[in-house]
Each structure stands twice: as C-alpha cells, then as structure tokens.
Amino acid sequence: MKNKVRIIAAAVLTLFVLFSMSVPSFAADECTITIVNTNEAVSMNTHTYNAYKIFDVTYDADADNYDYTIDSDFVTFFAGLNLAATLGADPDARAYAHVASLEGNDAALQDFGREAYAAAPSLPDGFVVAGSPANEGDPETATITGLAPGYYLVYDLGPADPQNAAAAEKAIANVILKTAKEDVTIDLKASVPTLDKKITSVSDDATNAASDTGSDGVSANLGQHVGFQIDSTVPDLTNYSNYIYKVKDTMDAGLTPDNNAKVTIGTTDVTANEKCHIVYDGQIMTVTIDYDLLKTYAKDTPITITYSAAVNANASVYPAADGTGNQAELEYSNNYTDETITEKTPTSTVKVYRFTLEITKVNAKEEVLQGAEFVLKDNADNYIPVAQDATTGRYSVSDTLAATEANAKVVSDANGKIYIDGLAEGQYTLTETAAPADYNILKNPVDINIVATYDATTGECTGVTGNTATVINKAGGLLPSTGGIGTYIFTIGGAVVMLTVMFVLVSRKKKAEVK
C-alpha cells in the first residue's frame, strides 16, 4: 500500500501538569526544558518555542513540599478569572487549587493554557526563546535553557516560513504546561488522523462495500466496476467551535462514477445524515462532514467512505500511459483561532490498468503470415468483442459491441501482427478460425495468461508478462516426394508398358472367342 498519507492536525494543544510529590528538589538555579518529537508524521523543523513562567516554585526539602506562587506577570490574569473564594483566601492558593483541579481534564487544561497564552506578556526580559531549531543537527528536538524553577507555559510559534513549510512541519503544539526542574524532557504529542485511499474490488456490478484489505493498483476490463475506499479518522477538535472537514475525490476520464458513496463513522452509516454532505459533479465527488456531527465522536474514530466507478473506453492502456488514476485529498482546519484557515493533505492516488496483447503469426521458417483469423475468449468462455482502428489497424476491446464470434474476430496484418488493446490481467484463449492459404488451421486454442506486477508502496505497475504470443502455422499442401525427373519418366513409362500388355492380352482373348 502506498504507502499511508497522514493528515497533520494543526493547532494541537498538548498540556502537561506536574504536581507530583515524587519530583526531586531543584538542585540548580537554572533549569532546562527539552521538547522532543517522536512522531514521524509531524516535524518540529524550524519551529520556535517561547517559555512563560506562570508560577514560581520553591521546594521545601524537609517537608517534601512544593510551594507555587503566581509569577508577577500573571497576577492580573488570575485576578481576572474571578476564582471562587472556596479555593482559598490567598490568591496564590486559589490559583494553585484552580489549576490543580484541572488535572485529568485535558480539554479544560488546554482551555486554561490557551487563555494564559492570550494574557501572556510580550516576552519581557528573562524569558527565553529556543533556537530554530534549538539543537543544531536535530530538527526534532528543541531546548530552552536558563530557566528559573517554575511552572511554565511553552508556546510553539510554528515554522519559520509557514507558507513554504512542508505539511508535516505545519503541525503546531500550541500550549505546553510543565513544572521545570534541572532537566525536563517533554514528548511533543500531536493528533495525527490518517487518510488512506485503496482499491477494494473489481466486479461486474457497482458496489460500496467496505473492506479491510485493498491495493493501490489493479487491472480491469471495460464495463467492470472498481470499488474504492477512503479511510480517515475523526480529528482532534479540542478548542474548536467549528471545523472544516472536506474530502475531494477526482477520477480520470477513463472512470465513470457510479455516484453511490457511503459514509460511515465508527460503525454508524451517516450517508443520509443532514450534517454529511455528498456532492457529485462529473468526475469530482466531495464529502463534507459538519463539525456538529464530528464532535459527537471520539478523536481517532474511523471515518470510511466507499464508492465505485465503471471502466470506460477512455481508460488508458499500459505502457502507453501509466494507468487511469483516482485521486483524493482532505481539506481540514488547522488553526483553532480561525477555523477557515485550512491545510490540504498530499494527494493520495490509486490506479486502474489495462494492457495490450501482441500476437505474431509466423510459419515454421519464422516468416510472418498475413490473413490468419482468430477469436479471443475470456476464461469464462465469453467472446471479447473488439473494434478495429481504420488508421492503425489495431484492435481495442469494445463496450458497445455484442459479445459474438463475429465481433471477436481479429486478423493478422502484413507484418503478421495482431494488437488487442484494453485487456485486464487474466487467462484468455485464442482460437484460430481461418488459416492463411496453403496452411493448416490450428487444432487447439492458444492459452494466454496476462500477469502484472505492482509497486507495493505506490501501486504503480512495474511490468507485465504473458501479453505476447507467437503462433506458428504449418503448410497445408502435399508433402514433396523423393527422387528426380528420371524416376518420374521410368514410372510413367512402366505404366504405359503395363497398359499396352493388358490391351494386347484382352484383344487376343476376344479374337479366340470369335473363332
């Protein structure tokens, strides 16, 4: 399978709070926060990180206790929260109790972090900015140094050049909350839904059945229906009040859409749901799922879109063209502050192939023979109708002619060649119905077995075998006799003598009878 195309969920809010009593006392005046990315689907490359100290922290080793006090730059922020007096009489105690109460509630923690960042001052003296990236030679690690012990909000400013950044680099972990000690390592966590397009079936009927298996490349005959499936997941909607989720599927001209898409989220068929919108426009299909429907499902719940299309006469023939394509991409929101800002996934493409059968007609001396007539059948003994191009003389499989013997006839040209374009992989039989003059017709059909190989990652065809055949005819005239002209003279002379003797004997017998 090509390889899977991953959707980078931007505006990801990753929050950590550490109030554990098992944390050792701070042994240094300065601390370090190291942010490490272990998810290959996203990249921290060229990102810059700002650190904001929300709480100062002191540690009482004797009591094994941490004391959190509001940093002076966030006093106004906490005052504006109007925290309940029941959380404590002291502002520091109320602030601590408020944040501590959010532990285990990721959505609430992320809301808090977002609000704190909005109130954060504009990098006053003492705040440290990481490099871009901080660690030379390692774009997936950023280190913020020179920090006083405290409870920090770390904000990801994103890539240095957002417009030209790779899709993986646009994933942003907006807010990180962490209590810093001498050396704190944070595993950057980003929600990464997936988008995977595959071909699930080739059949004589339209289908929208889902499948656990599939491929990125197959072959099919004219008129056959190819089943497609797009697999995705519900994105992380934390902090979003709206969200754009739109799948666009585009088919090449060689595929005729069956317009039979089915959409499921988890195990629920939402095709007819008013918040699921399917629009067919020629070769393009779009599936849009509203935020109000998405939010009713947990993050990473599977989204499956299934549909099919019929192969038509515009479908390309390999190797003249590299398959008939079907492409899909997802447009999705990547900024929770403005859901209209979107990103698109790389296009995911699958391909449908047809092949050419090349037949060469020769005699025993390997001289080409013109005028040999054949009919082609599939492995179900059905005639394969073909139409001949008046200019090139090549034959193409037809989806308009009836499957009769007359319509399945092909004839070798002056070069002894027959080209039949548009066959799928599979087994066929080639039966000679008329041989060239003075040659014997073949007694048995010729077996054809076309086999293609595909790249396991891209689905592209890498080669085809069994699509060429050399058919030999033997002469049908009297086999030559041995001996030269003298032999024929003696033979003819002997025959004349014998006839003369017989004539004389018969004449004498008649005369004797008369006497």
For 188-216, the pLDDT digits (tens) are: 766 656 789 999 999 999 999 999 999 99
Q: Are 164 and 211 part of one and the same domain?
A: no
Q: What is the pLDDT of residue 185?
A: 85
Q: How far is CA 357 from the centre of its chain?
A: 28
Report how far apart, in Å, the C-alpha atoms of 278 and of each of 224, 259, 261, 274 are: 24, 9, 8, 10
The predicted pLDDT at position 6 comes to 35
* Calpha distance 253→442 (Å, rounded): 40
Q: Are 154 and 187 in contact (CB under 8 A)?
A: no
Mean pLDDT score, 262-284: 98
Q: Are residues 28 and 163 in the same domain?
A: yes
pLDDT of residue 172: 63
Confidence of residue 16 (pLDDT cuts 50, 70, 90): very low
Task: Return d(Cα 217, Cα 348) in angstroms, integer.
Answer: 12
**Do 111 and 97 fall into the same domain?**
yes
Lookup result for tokens 């909607």:
237
The least confident of 60-74, 118-132, 137-151, 263-277 is: 118-132
pLDDT, tens digit, for every residue of 451-510?
999 998 889 999 999 999 999 998 865 455 555 555 444 445 565 556 665 655 556 655
Average pLDDT taken over every residue of the chain: 83
Q: Give me the sheet containing 175-180, strands edge to edge.
A: 65-70, 49-60, 150-156, 175-180
- Which is more confidently placed, 472 or 340? 472
The predicted structure's pLDDT at residue 122: 62
Whether residues 285 and 338 fall in one domain:
yes
Instruction: List the structure tokens of 461.
Output: 């065809």
Give the chain's domain count.
4
User: Across residues 31-49, what is the average pLDDT?
Assistant: 82
Report whether pLDDT(127) > 50: no
State both tokens at 346: 């790389």
Task: Please tell me whether residues 269 and 397 are part of one structural domain.
Answer: no
Please report whether residue 478 resides in a domain: no
CA pair distance 88, 469, nearest whole angstrom: 90
Q: How many residues does the chain have?
A: 515
Show which of 289, 317, 352 is a domain's final residue. Answer: 352
CA–CA gap between residue 135 and residue 49 (Å, rounded): 12
Q: What is the pLDDT of residues 48-84, one digit of tens each?
A: 888 888 999 887 767 777 889 999 989 999 999 999 9
The domain in which residue 87 lies consists of: 5-188
Q: Which of 352, 377, 410 is the last residue of a domain?
A: 352
Domain end, chosen from 321, 352, 383, is at: 352
Average pLDDT of 242-261?
97
Task: List own/partner pairs for 318-323 with CB under 8 A and 24 or more apart.
Answer: 318/353, 318/354, 318/355, 318/356, 318/452, 318/461, 318/464, 319/461, 319/464, 322/351, 322/460, 322/461, 323/217, 323/351, 323/352, 323/353, 323/460, 323/461
**Residues 515 and 469 occupy one common structural domain:** no
The pair phi, psi for residue 99, each rounded to 5°, is: -65, -40
Chain centroid to CA 235: 19
Query: Looking at residue 25, what is its pLDDT?
Result: 43
Q: Is 411 or 3 the better-scoring residue by pLDDT?
A: 411
The pLDDT value given to residue 117: 86
Q: How confident is the model at residue 17 (pLDDT cuts 50, 70, 90)?
A: very low
Q: Are 394 and 330 in the same domain?
A: no
What is the average per-residue pLDDT within 165-183? 70
Residues with Cβ within 8 Å of residue 496, at least 6 apart in sequence: none
pLDDT of 334 > 70? The answer is yes
Are both 220 and 95 inside the same structural domain? Answer: no
Give the tokens for residue 470.
């050399």
Q: What is the mean pLDDT of residues 223-243?
A: 92
- Whether residue 319 is contained in a domain is answered as yes
Strand 183-188 and strand 31-37: the pairing is parallel
Cα–Cα dist 458/280, whole Å:
27
In degrees, to the nearest 5, what angle opens at C-alpha 302 toward C-alphas 114 and 8? 45
Give 140's pLDDT tier (boundaries 50, 70, 90): confident
CA separation for the pair 140, 444 (Å, rounded): 66
Q: Based on the domain organization, do 456 and 488 belong to the same domain?
A: no
Is residue 131's pLDDT more than 70? no
Residue 502: per-residue pLDDT: 67
Q: Is residue 11 part of a domain?
A: yes
